[in-house]
């Protein structure tokens, strides 16, 4: 719970610190978001033996190409997916994804969608199952990111968004488990400001 409040405080500080000058086509935008990643599908999201949802946060840097398109780099972290049947098993996922965003401005707000590809790094703690110890492990896999949202004017020139995200990790295999691919659905509150 403390992490959540610290990160929400960071979002408000980001909005206050970065707000100011109006945007131009040469400016960069910095975004930070907090929400939840929910496993779904396959063994990763299995209703009885899969993994639970986890708090997640992201930071991204973006540059507009024109009024419609922009590109950027998104870094996100799921802070710990616990297994439903093995309480000691906990998996964290970090991602670094390059993306392209398309936006449509209407009135005072904008609708947007994005697609990206990058690398996902996961770590698994050591755990015991049926008296057998399994060592900690980590690995990396390519993955994709799809999503969209709606953005509104926020505080001191910053913008706030509600954002839905789908992340697909192509291969998650560790010391003691093999999940093949893994999918997370995420919902985030995001604050962005021009640098």
* pLDDT tens sequence across 48-76: 989 999 999 999 999 999 989 999 999 99
Torsion from C-alpha of 62, 65, 66, 69, nearest 10 degrees: -70
Q: Which residues of the chain have pLDDT under 50?
A: 1-8, 11-26
Residue 112 has a pLDDT of: 98
Give pTM, 2 decimals.
0.83
- CA dist 55 → 79, 94, 104, 165, 189 (Å): 6, 12, 29, 14, 12
Q: Label residue 181 exposed, middle or buried (CB < 10 Å: 0-12, 13-18, 19+).
A: middle
Question: Which token pair is 144?
Answer: 């994709």
Helix (H) or strand (E) holding 6: helix 2-18
């Amino acid at each position: 719970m403390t992490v959540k409040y610290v990160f929400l405080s960071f979002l408000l500080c980001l909005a206050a610190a970065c707000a100011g000058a109006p945007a131009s086509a040469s400016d960069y935008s910095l975004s930070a978001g907090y929400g939840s990643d929910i496993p779904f599908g396959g063994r990763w999201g299995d209703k009885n033996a899969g993994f639970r949802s986890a708090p997640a946060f992201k930071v991204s840097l973006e540059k507009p190409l024109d009024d419609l398109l922009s590109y950027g780099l998104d870094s996100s972290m799921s802070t710990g997916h616990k297994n439903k049947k093995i309480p000691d098993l906990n998996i964290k996922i970090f991602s670094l994804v390059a993306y392209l965003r398309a936006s449509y401005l209407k009135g005072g707000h904008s609708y947007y969608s994005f697609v990206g590809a990058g690398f996902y790094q996961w770590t698994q703690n050591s755990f015991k199952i049926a008296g057998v110890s399994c060592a900690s492990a980590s690995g990396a896999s390519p993955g994709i990111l799809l999503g969209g949202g709606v953005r509104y004017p926020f505080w001191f020139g910053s913008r706030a968004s509600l954002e839905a995200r789908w992340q697909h990790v192509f291969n998650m295999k560790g010391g003691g488990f093999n999940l093949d691919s893994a999918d997370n659905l995420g919902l985030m509150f995001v604050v962005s400001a021009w640098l």
